[in-house]
């Protein structure tokens, strides 16, 4: 990436671990904190929760990058939403966008082949972008998604504790 995106782990003083989860944690932490910093100045308190949640999702997805299907799905959703927001006054475009968005996100529905109908469906509903992929791929995406969710929880817990203590 050419843009000077904050803190790669290498620019830090030596990290004790450079395993993938700590890399993700660092990246997410940086982006999220940055987003929060900007968020405080901009949004009114009424929509704060909504914006901070969007910021968390977006920073997580961008920390992961477009390598994973679920992060791509989140980024797509965000882009579609911003486009949607910007073009909402043009009704024709609005309709177009909503149509395209639904087609893109839905993908081709797969049959419930594997275990029970319920589990596979639920899993697809939970993992972002889980609609349009096969079961095998869904499982690997789920594994990565769980790792990143865990990292997210850890970072946010740290931030909270840091704030509450200082």
Partner 1 sequence: MKRIIDSSFLPLHHSSIFLLCLTSQSLSLSDYILNLPVILTLYIDTQCTHSLLCLYVSSRKREKSRMDQLLVNEASFTVAINQSSYSLAELLSSGMGGGGGGLGLRMGSLGDDGSGVGEVGDVSLEQSTVTYQSVSRGGNGGGKRRRGVVNFIEDDSSKLVSTSSDNHDLNESNGKRMKASGSRDEDRGSKTEAETNPLNSIKSIEEKSKPEPPKYYIHVRARRGQATDRHSLAERARREKISERMKTLQDLVPGCNKVIGKALVLDEIINYIQSLQHQVEFLLMKLVAVNPRLDPAIEGFPIKDVAARSFDANGTMYKSQAPEECGQGTQTEWPPLQVGSGFENEKHDWESR
In Å, what is the CA distance from 162 to each residue of 155, 158, 165, 166?
10, 6, 5, 6
Which residues have C-beta within 8 Å of that of residue 93, sequence separation ≥ 6?
Answer: 87
Q: Does residue 105 bind partner 1 (CB under 8 A)?
A: no
Tell me how far, at minimum, the Cβ of 27 lies from partner 1, in Å. 8
Among 69, 73, 97, 120, binds partner 1 (CB under 8 A): 120
Among 10, 42, 89, 103, binds partner 1 (CB under 8 A): 42
- Ramachandran region of residue 8, left (φ > 0), alpha (ψ -120 to 50) or beta? beta
Among 49, 88, 95, 106, binds partner 1 (CB under 8 A): 49
Q: Does residue 70 bind partner 1 (CB under 8 A)?
A: no
Q: Does residue 104 bind partner 1 (CB under 8 A)?
A: no
């Amino acid at each position: 990436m050419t843009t000077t995106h904050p803190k790669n782990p290498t620019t830090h003083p030596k990290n004790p671990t450079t395993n993938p989860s700590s890399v993700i944690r660092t990246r997410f932490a940086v982006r999220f904190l940055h987003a929060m910093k900007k968020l405080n100045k901009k949004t009114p308190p009424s929509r704060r929760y909504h914006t901070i949640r969007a910021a968390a999702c977006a920073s997580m997805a961008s920390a992961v990058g477009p390598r994973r299907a679920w992060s791509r799905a989140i980024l797509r959703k965000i882009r579609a939403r911003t486009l949607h927001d910007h073009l909402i006054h043009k009704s024709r475009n609005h309709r177009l966008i909503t149509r395209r968005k639904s087609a893109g996100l839905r993908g081709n529905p797969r049959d419930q082949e594997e275990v029970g109908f319920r589990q596979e469906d639920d899993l697809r509903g939970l993992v972002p972008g889980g609609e349009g992929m096969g079961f095998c791929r869904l499982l690997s995406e789920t594994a990565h998604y769980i790792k990143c969710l865990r990292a997210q929880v850890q970072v946010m817990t740290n931030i909270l504790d840091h704030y509450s203590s200082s």
